[in-house]
């Protein structure tokens, strides 16, 4: 869709046109003097001997400037002024009342009737020309203001169209990003996986997922790209390809064995490779936090590497909450850094949660963040829930804590519920 953007230069480039001046004067001598003087200065002039004739001329062609005598037979100058103002709401001509009575209250009455200026007779050519030129300047400013207002209106229309297009694209982008989370629940032998992804805006930089390694072994990850919006979402989509479950030959966390099966690479080594890729092959200012874990569902052992991502939450079967971790640097900030691995031992009935910092850094109405202690208390209150219901209940409790359903940051998480050999 092509959009025509209005131009300010075009809006104010209307060529100057000599204004049309209407002289309304019952005295023929005065009318002739005024008309002749104005024509001599290059103005287009029409004249009328009465207010009624003047208004008829105005209905045919609205003048830019009106010079009107106050005292006339029939309609007075004030009557003509009021009627002139009612002829057009879009164009406001410049109205000058002429009077030979300079007593108090004249100017006030004239302005109340809608006049712009008052000239006291006798009128000399310098005064007349100065007042008419002031009217010209008013008309020029009025014309420019009208054109600029028109430009603003047209520009707002274009911006509304642009916003509608962007909004449509963002909705499609959100659908695509949600499609990166292929499943919200996965039942496996030895354990179950549940996942959630909730963007703060249309699209965000969070992603969680899993990939099978071999029977009984699964890889889990949670990542959070810096910033928000489209560029963060594009970065997230690219990173999803490096940890893909559907194309294991492109998954950096897997290595192909001679027999055609796959084995898991050490998570710390994988994050180091991603760090090098971001720094040396991706032209981006973004960085991201990442937690990569390899879980053995036969033994309950989980090998974890952490790159600036929040500590995992290990909800034990007895209700205790542990949050072990090494912290580490985010990916894409520093070259040559290592990413330490550590191990977790799960028992049947234990649950492992990998959550983004949108949870622990969620503020309450007073600005205080939930933090790790607040998360531990929240999980303790929710220990009776399991699977997707636990993640949904967590979001509900988080919105209750924040006092709003809208969070300032993306919220994502993956839950592993370990069953063991049952």
pLDDT digits (tens, 9 = 90+) for 53-70: 999 999 999 999 999 999
Host H or E run for residue 20: strand 20-24
Q: Which of 195, 198, 199 is nearest to 209 (CA)?
A: 195
Residue showing tokens 């924040």: 402
At residue 52 the predicted structure's pLDDT band, cuts being 50, 70 and 90, is very high
Residue showing tokens 């492992």: 352
The answer to whether residue 213 scores a pLDDT higher than 60 is yes
At residue 100 the predicted structure's pLDDT band, cuts being 50, 70 and 90, is confident
The answer to whether residue 225 scores a pLDDT higher than 70 is yes
- The three-class DSSP label of residue 284 is coil
First to last CA, the chain: 59
Q: How many other β-carbons are positioned within 10 Å of the β-carbon of residue 202?
A: 19
Indicate the domain borders of the chain: 17-148, 181-418
* Tokens representing residue 243 in the block: 């940890």
Q: How many other β-carbons are positioned within 10 Å of the β-carbon of residue 50?
A: 17
Q: pTM of the prediction?
A: 0.64
Q: Which of 226, 218, 223 is nearest to 180 (CA)?
A: 223
pLDDT higher at 107 or 177: 107
pLDDT in tens, 104-113: 688 889 999 9
At residue 347 the predicted structure's pLDDT band, cuts being 50, 70 and 90, is very high
The answer to whether residue 11 scores a pLDDT higher than 50 is no
**Residues contacting residue 180 through CB under 8 Å, at least 6 positions apart:** 207, 209, 236, 237, 240
Asked whether the domain spanning 181-418 has the same topology as the one spanning 17-148, the reply is no
At residue 172 the predicted structure's pLDDT band, cuts being 50, 70 and 90, is low
The domain made up of 17-148 has a fold known as Rossmann fold (3.40.50)
The domain made up of 181-418 has a fold known as Phosphatase 2c; domain 1 (3.60.40)
Q: Which pairing describes strands 301-307 and 341-345: parallel, antiparallel, or unpaired?
A: antiparallel
The pLDDT of residue 358 is: 92
């Amino acid at each position: 869709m092509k959009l025509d953007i209005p131009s300010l230069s075009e809006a104010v480039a209307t060529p100057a046109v000599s204004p049309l001046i209407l002289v309304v004067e019952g005295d023929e001598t005065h009318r002739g003097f005024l008309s002749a003087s104005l024509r001599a200065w290059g103005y287009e002039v029409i004249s009328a001997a009465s207010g009624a004739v003047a208004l008829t001329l105005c209905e045919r062609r609205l003048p830019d400037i009106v010079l009107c005598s106050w005292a006339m037979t029939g309609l007075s100058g004030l009557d003509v002024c009021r009627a002139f103002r009612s002829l057009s709401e879009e164009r406001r001509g410049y109205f000058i009342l002429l009077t030979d009575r300079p007593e108090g209250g004249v100017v006030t009455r004239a302005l109340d009737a809608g006049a712009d200026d008052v000239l006291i007779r006798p009128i000399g050519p310098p005064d007349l020309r100065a007042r008419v030129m002031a009217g010209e300047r008013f008309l020029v400013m009025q014309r420019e203001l009208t054109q600029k207002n028109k430009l603003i209106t047209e520009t707002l229309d274009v911006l509304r169209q642009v916003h509608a297009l962007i909004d449509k694209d963002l909705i499609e982008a959100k659908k695509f990003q949600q499609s990166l989370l292929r499943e919200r629940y996965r039942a496996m032998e030895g354990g179950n996986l549940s996942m959630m992804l909730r963007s703060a805006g249309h699209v965000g930089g969070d992603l969680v997922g899993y990939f099978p390694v071999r029977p009984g072994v699964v890889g889990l990850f949670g990542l959070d790209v810096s910033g928000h919006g489209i560029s963060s979402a594009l970065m997230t989509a690219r990173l999803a390809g490096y940890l893909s479950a559907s194309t294991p030959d492109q998954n950096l966390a897997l290595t192909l064995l001679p027999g055609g099966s796959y084995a898991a690479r050490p998570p710390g080594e994988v994050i180091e490779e991603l760090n090098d890729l971001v720094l040396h092959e991706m032209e981006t200012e973004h960085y991201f936090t990442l937690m990569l874990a390899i879980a053995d569902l036969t033994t309950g052992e989980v090998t974890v590497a952490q790159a600036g991502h929040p500590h995992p939450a290990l909800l034990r079967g007895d209700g205790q909450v542990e949050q072990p971790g090494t912290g580490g640097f985010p990916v894409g900030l520093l070259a040559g850094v290592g990413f330490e691995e550590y191990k977790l031992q799960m028992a049947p009935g234990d649950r492992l949660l990998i959550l983004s910092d949108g949870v622990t850094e969620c503020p309450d109405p007073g600005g205080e963040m939930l933090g790790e202690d607040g998360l531990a208390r929240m999980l303790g209150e929710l220990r009776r829930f399991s699977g997707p219901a636990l993640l949904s209940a967590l979001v509900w409790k988080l919105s209750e804590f924040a006092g709003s359903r809208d969070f300032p940051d993306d919220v994502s998480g993956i839950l592993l519920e370990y069953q063991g050999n049952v």
